[in-house]
């Protein structure tokens, strides 16, 4: 064989040619993605479009003929004093609930994650037990906690009686402390979520950083503020975003514990329920829902920008 001539084993004729995409590969991909897209369209896109269309109509709950009214519903949202007062009160209640609930859940969840970071005997069983509240239905848990908050025979007041608090001094939870009841149940249910996310963030931190800090004789507080908290911050921020957007839609616990008619616990979702199903005004309720959607999207966008800025700042520092 002359020098420089290609070997038969390496010649292009003997190498297998890569096969191009077959005609059925596209259908195979869509067979996997298609059902998910249909579910998303059916349960998300279609109700959204339906709500936006009805926000510009005078539709009511009876399902009769409706007509276009333009921006009259939105004008009533912001100009009608009665509706504006109810909407403002519901927004304040919802905002206070989101700040307190998510803040307490983040604090308790991060503390639990710090306590459960190191391995110990029974850790798996304890984690499973702590995650149980997060897996339960909020509506069912609301009814269950109704029995706990009951003033006459509720277990909570019975426990307080063991500490010397007689019947006359025991709080009437569902009458005098309705907002606190919602807060307690929501914190009990969703603190495990914050703990799980915090634990994932803590386990993702390289151990070499802690070893270097130990060699430099850094204090525990300095290690926490310079290593643990900054490296967990992006993941914690994402958890806060998910929980905040979910808490803004709080409805199940309100309906199960207090109902939509109590002003001190009426969230925006409960107000929408009252307007649509109580007053029968589907068009006006849809307009309220659109305004809430814009507020939620704006808050989520701002928070997402903040998370991107935080990650870019950490990248420059690194």
Closest CA to 304 of 238, 243, 229: 238
Closest CA to 243 of 315, 294, 317, 193: 193
Are 94 and 267 within 8 A, CB to CB? yes
CB burial of residue 250 (10 Å; 0-12, 13-18, 19+): buried
CA–CA separation, 231 and 213 (whole Å): 14
pLDDT of 201-246, one tens digit each?
999 888 888 889 888 888 889 988 888 888 888 889 889 988 998 8
Domains detected in the chain: 68-317 (1.10.3720.10)
Q: Which residue has the tokens 């499973």?
A: 128
Are 257 and 277 within 8 A, CB to CB? no
3-state SS, residue 57: strand
DSSP 8-state assignment for residue 172: -
3-state SS, residue 49: helix
Q: Which residue has the tokens 């109700």?
A: 47
Amino acid 316: pLDDT: 55
Amino acid 13: pLDDT: 47
Q: Which residue has the tokens 């307190």?
A: 100
Residue 290, C-beta contacts closer than 8 angstroms, at least 6 positions apart: 51, 52, 55, 74
Helices (H) and strands (E) in the chain — how many of each?
Answer: 15, 0
* Distance between start and end Cα atoms, the chain: 57
pTM for the full predicted model:
0.78
Closest CA to 196 of 232, 231, 166: 232
Cα 86 from chain centre: 25
Mean pLDDT by 10 residues, the chain (318 residues): 49 49 68 85 84 88 81 82 78 91 94 89 88 87 86 78 72 84 93 93 88 88 89 88 88 86 86 85 87 84 80 63
Are 184 and 258 within 8 A, CB to CB? no
């Amino acid at each position: 064989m002359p020098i420089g001539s290609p070997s038969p084993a390496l010649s292009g004729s003997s190498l297998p040619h890569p096969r191009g995409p077959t005609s059925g590969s596209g259908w195979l991909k869509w067979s996997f993605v298609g059902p998910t897209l249909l579910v998303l369209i059916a349960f998300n896109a279609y109700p959204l479009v339906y709500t936006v269309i009805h926000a510009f109509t005078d539709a009511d709950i009876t399902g009769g003929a409706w007509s276009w009214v333009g921006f009259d519903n939105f004008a009533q949202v912001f100009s009608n004093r009665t509706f504006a007062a109810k909407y403002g009160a519901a927004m304040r209640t919802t905002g206070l609930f989101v700040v307190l609930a998510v803040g307490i859940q983040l604090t308790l969840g991060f503390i639990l994650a710090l306590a459960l970071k190191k391995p110990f005997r029974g850790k798996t069983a304890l984690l499973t037990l702590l995650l149980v509240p997060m897996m339960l239905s909020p509506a069912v848990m609301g009814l269950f906690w109704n029995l706990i908050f009951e003033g006459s025979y509720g277990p909570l007041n019975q426990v307080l009686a063991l500490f010397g608090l007689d019947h006359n001094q025991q709080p009437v939870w569902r009458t005098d402390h309705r907002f606190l009841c919602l807060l307690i149940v929501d914190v009990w249910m969703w603190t495990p979520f914050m703990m799980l996310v915090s634990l994932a963030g803590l386990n993702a931190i390289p151990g070499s950083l802690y070893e270097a800090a130990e060699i430099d004789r850094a204090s525990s507080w300095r290690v926490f503020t310079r290593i643990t908290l900054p490296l967990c911050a992006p993941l914690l921020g994402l958890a806060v975003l998910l929980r905040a957007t979910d808490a803004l839609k709080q409805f199940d616990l309100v309906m199960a514990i207090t109902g939509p008619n109590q002003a001190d616990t009426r969230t925006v979702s409960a107000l929408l329920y009252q307007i649509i199903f109580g007053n029968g005004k589907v068009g006006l309720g849809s307009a309220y829902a659109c305004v809430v959607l814009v507020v939620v999207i704006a808050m989520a966008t701002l928070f997402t920008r903040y998370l991107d800025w935080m990650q870019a700042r950490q990248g420059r520092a690194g």
